[in-house]
């Protein structure tokens, strides 16, 4: 089934649902005119449809593999990557000083999502490079920037992020990789890293690794970690790839999905690296890359959901089975109530998750363009929601896509199962969704809920505007926002462990309310009548009520959870 980029949806969201006009009105992003936005979305959409989408099955059926120490990528991936790089899609938001377009992250978010829907395995490569570009722009020395950024921005070189070690997963502070000064301003990096997405490839001239390591005498834990740039090939005096560095790919992981994306075990044996940022301040520099990647990973989930939805819809519109329960129906399984329920749920969830991600990107752009603390706080608050809900949506929608196919969904040849296998890891990497939720109830409520309350104020103002046009929907959204406000105020007063016990349902409660808010905005944007209004009604009447259950769980506390004894978990 051919993929069709949902360009119309992005345009509508930017025109009617999120305040992208405020981004374009800033001096920093003045070039993001409606014509420019339309051209970017249209060209990127065509590239995704014509070049990347045909590679989706190839990566799954012919995985990347290690051959005599060299990573060999899936058929067509080199040509697909070339189209991404030559089109400038790696560097939409990068600084023009180094060859980037300097456009808003909101546009990057839309383009990345389209690439994810077309071929998630390949899209993961430029996503990692984009994060590295941002980290270097913010923390690297001028000398490092001059050598590396033009190459990364052009796509000639690619970037990775090296955090995890065999004994140090989410507990990054337990890492053992060490960095010894060489006496010439460089460092010798020694250690092993695992789960390195696109740790190597056979289509870029160089692969640049951002590696967390510990300097001699550094304190234990995250405060003693530094960040280093360690290239596969050390640049020569002309900035071109020179001699091979002392690093190698030990093996590639055999994964549930994303077979086209080589996930490497990397070994560093005194490899030459350059310090990025200040010594012992590596986590701050790395978080610049990780925060970029968290929104990007949320977009990966949404993209996979879009691909799975289109796949399932095409099947449902073609598959005939049983007698149609609808007079004058199509005669396909789309006539059946439960299939229709699943497809409507998939479409409604995608719109909600996409709008949350775009709202987060707008807040990040406004924070960068204006320096206003309120926008920065909003971006920080929305990031864990965008990441977790975007990826949960991907998993749920992809699984539902298999169900729409019935027995054929369980047959690999249909391609339905691939979306489910590929997207599953997105809820795990770049900080598990549980960690995102703990961040939301922890750091993001340290202001007493001020950033969250400002968001809820906006939700309620929009609901008040909608009361004349869509009174029943507006009332439901307003009441849900009030319930969420009360739950947040109660959670702020709770002890940390009680917050953590209900963190995931609290985040999902936020996602439900924000999803309803954006659906209501969409209904208003088309005048209260039309396809978006019908979808909004479906979401608000049938899905928004789930927020009450989420909030009840969120406020239940930790006591009952820990009352379950360890031995109670035994079979």
Angle at 566 between CA 564 and CA 567, to 5 degrees: 100
**8 A C-beta contact, residue 64 and residue 56:** no
Average pLDDT for residues 34-40, to the nearest whole number? 96
Identify whether the C-beta of residue 107 lies closer than 8 Å to the C-beta of residue 89.
Answer: no
Question: Kind and range of the H or E element at 323?
Answer: none
446 class by beta-carbon count within 10 Å (0-12 exposed, 13-18 middle, 19+ buried): exposed
Q: Sign of torsion, CA 42 44 45 47?
A: positive
Between 222 and 60, name the one with better pLDDT. 60
Q: Angle formed by the axes of helices 105-139 and 77-86, to 10°?
A: 90
pLDDT tens-digit readout, 460-471? 999 999 999 999
Residue 48 CA to residue 555 CA, distance in Å, equals 43
Give the per-residue pLDDT at 324. 83
Position 328 scores a pLDDT of 82
Confidence (pLDDT) at 1: 61
Q: Per-residue confidence at 169, pLDDT binned at 50, 70, 90?
A: low
> What pLDDT score does 289 carry?
72
Q: In whole angstroms, what is the distance from residue 375 CA to residue 360 CA?
A: 10
Does residue 516 have a pLDDT over 80?
A: yes
In angstroms, the CA 10 to CA 38 distance is 10
**What average pLDDT does range 17-33 have in this prediction?**
97
pTM (2 d.p.): 0.96
Instruction: Give the residues across from 162 on adjacent strands.
Output: 211
Q: Which residue has the higher pLDDT, 238 or 571?
A: 238
Q: What is the mean pLDDT of residues 194-207?
A: 97
CATH code for the part of the protein at 159-281: 2.40.110.20
pLDDT above 70 as % of the chain: 99
CA distance linking residue 464 with residue 473, whole number of Å? 11
CA 253 to chain centre: 21
**pLDDT (mean) for 511-539:** 98
Q: Which CATH architecture has domain 7-142?
A: Orthogonal Bundle (1.10)
Q: Which residues contact 137 (CB under 8 A, 6 or more apart)?
A: 94, 95, 98, 145, 149
Give Cα separations from 223 to 10, 63, 229 (angstroms): 41, 38, 19
| Predicted local confidence at residue 323, as pLDDT | 83
CB 224, CB 174: distance < 8 Å: no
User: What's the longest Cα–Cα distance across the chain?
Assistant: 81
Beta strand pairing call for 65-67 and 247-252: unpaired
- The residues annotated as belonging to the active site are 430
Q: Cβ contacts of residue 314 below 8 Å, gap of 6+?
A: 1
pLDDT of 168 above 90: no
**Could you identify the residue written with the tokens 């930017």?**
14
Residue bearing tokens 């071109």 = 240
560: CB partners within 8 A, 6+ apart: none
pLDDT in tens, 419-452: 999 999 999 998 999 999 999 999 999 999 999 9
| HEC secondary structure over 355-416 | HHHHHHHHHHHHHHHHCCHHHHHHHHHHHHHHHHHHHHHHHHHHHHHHHHHHHHHHCHHHCH
Q: Per-domain residue ranges for the chain? A: 7-142, 159-281, 436-571
Q: What stretch of H or E contains 308?
A: helix 282-318
Rounded mean pLDDT, 196-217: 96
Where are the strands (E) in 457-500, listed by range? none
């Amino acid at each position: 089934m051919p993929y069709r980029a949902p360009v119309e949806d992005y345009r509508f969201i930017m025109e009617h649902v999120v305040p992208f006009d405020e981004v374009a009105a800033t001096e920093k992003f003045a070039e993001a005119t409606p014509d420019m936005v339309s051209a970017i979305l249209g060209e990127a959409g065509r590239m995704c449809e014509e070049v990347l989408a045909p590679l989706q099955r190839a990566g799954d059926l012919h995985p990347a593999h290690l051959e005599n120490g060299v990573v060999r990528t899936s058929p067509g991936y080199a040509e697909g990557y070339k189209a991404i790089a030559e089109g400038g899609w790696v560097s939409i938001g990068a600084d023009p000083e180094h060859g980037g377009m300097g456009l808003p992250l909101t546009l990057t978010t839309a383009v990345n999502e389209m690439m994810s829907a077309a071929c998630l395995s390949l899209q993961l490569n430029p996503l990692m490079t984009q994060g590295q570009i941002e980290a270097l722009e913010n923390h690297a020395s001028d000398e490092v920037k001059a050598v590396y950024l033009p190459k990364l921005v052009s796509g000639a070189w690619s970037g990775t992020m090296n955090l995890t070690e065999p004994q140090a997963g989410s507990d990054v502070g337990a890492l053992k990789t060490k960095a010894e000064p060489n006496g010439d301003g460089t460092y010798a990096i020694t250690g092993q890293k695992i789960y390195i997405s696109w740790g190597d490839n056979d289509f870029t001239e160089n692969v640049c690794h951002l590696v967390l390591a510990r300097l001699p005498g550094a304190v234990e834990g995250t405060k003693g970690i530094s960040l280093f740039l360690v290239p596969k090939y050390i640049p020569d005096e002309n900035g071109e790839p020179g001699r091979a560095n002392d690093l190698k790919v030990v093996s590639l992981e055999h994964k549930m999905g994303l077979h086209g994306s080589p996930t490497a075990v990397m070994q560093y044996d005194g490899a030459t690296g350059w310090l990025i940022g200040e010594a012992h301040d590596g986590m701050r520099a790395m978080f610049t890359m990780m925060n970029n990647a968290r929104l990007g990973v949320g977009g990966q989930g949404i993209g996979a959901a879009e691909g799975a939805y289109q796949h399932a819809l095409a099947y449902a519109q073609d598959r005939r089975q049983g007698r149609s329960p609808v007079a004058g129906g199509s005669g396909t399984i789309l006539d059946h109530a439960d299939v229709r329920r699943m497809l409507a749920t998939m479409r409604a969830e995608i719109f909600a998750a996409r709008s949350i991600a775009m709202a987060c990107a707008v807040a990040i752009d406004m924070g960068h363009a204006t320096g206003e603390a309120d926008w920065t706080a909003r971006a920080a608050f929305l990031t864990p929601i965008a990441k977790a809900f975007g990826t949960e949506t991907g998993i749920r929608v992809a699984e539902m896509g298999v169900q729409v196919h019935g027995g054929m969904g369980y047959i690999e040849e249909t391609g339905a199962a691939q979306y489910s296998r590929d997207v599953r890891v997105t809820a795990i990497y770049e900080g598990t969704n549980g960690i995102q939720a703990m961040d939301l109830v922890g750091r993001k409520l340290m202001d007493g809920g001020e950033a969250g309350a400002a968001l809820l104020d906006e939700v309620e103002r929009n609901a008040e505007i909608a009361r004349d046009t869509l009174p029943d929907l507006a009332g439901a959204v307003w009441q849900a926002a009030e319930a969420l406000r009360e739950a947040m105020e109660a959670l702020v007063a709770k002890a940390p462990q009680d917050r953590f016990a209900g963190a995931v349902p609290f985040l999902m409660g936020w996602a439900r309310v924000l999803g309803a808010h954006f659906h209501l905005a969409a209904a208003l944007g088309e005048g209260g009548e039309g396809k978006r209004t019908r979808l909004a009604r479906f979401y608000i009447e049938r899905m928004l009520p789930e927020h009450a259950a989420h909030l009840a769980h969120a406020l239940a506390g930790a006591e009952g959870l820990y009352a379950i004894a360890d031995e109670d978990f035994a079979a």
